[in-house]
Amino acid sequence: MPTVTDIADRPAVSVCFKVSVDGLDLGAFTSCSGLGVELTVEDHEEGGNPGFVHHLPGQLKFTNIRLTRPLGPSADQILKWMTETSLIGKRTTARIAACGPDGSEVASWTLDSVFPVRWTGPEMNVESPKICTETLELAHHGFLFGDAIQALESL
């Protein structure tokens, strides 16, 4: 009888998310939300049949990705990248890798046309001390797969 550890398709357990943008390492984050895509649905009512509505696929919508971590020395690097990106208007390619407890990569996502839309620093209050965190929010135009990633890496 196989044990849980023998099963190759174990659930992916992640303790951090490593992020890089065009080869620039932004470091590890403890929280990542917004990795998703939604297909909008357009309703079209048929004129001769009042009881039927056609549901047609529309555009893909990609949600913004929010990355959070304890504040560290690399916050300056993020702010510098954000400022340079806004001045030039350059969109980049980003890679988010979910890492397991042993540091091994359990999953990764490559994002197309990434740009930072928000950085939020820590909320500080002497009456309620807590760990200072920073949050980075990224907008993107979708996910890249296989051939598209290889084409970018060859440039």
Measured CA distances, 72 to 98, 100, 120, 132 (Å): 20, 21, 13, 9
Total domain count, the chain: 1
pTM, rounded to two decimals: 0.79
Q: Confirm whether 66 is domain-assigned.
A: yes
Q: Residues 111-123: what's their mean pLDDT?
A: 91
Query: Looking at per-residue confidence, does 2 or 96 come out higher?
Result: 96
Instruction: Give residue 98's pLDDT band: very low, low, confident or very high (50, 70, 90).
Output: very high
SS (H, E, C) 20-61: EECCEEEEEECEEECCCEEEEEEEEECCCCCCCEEEEEEEEE
Q: Confirm whether 42 is domain-assigned.
A: no
pLDDT at 4 over 70: no
CATH number of the domain to which 149 belongs: 2.30.110.20
Q: Tokens representing 69?
A: 């971590």
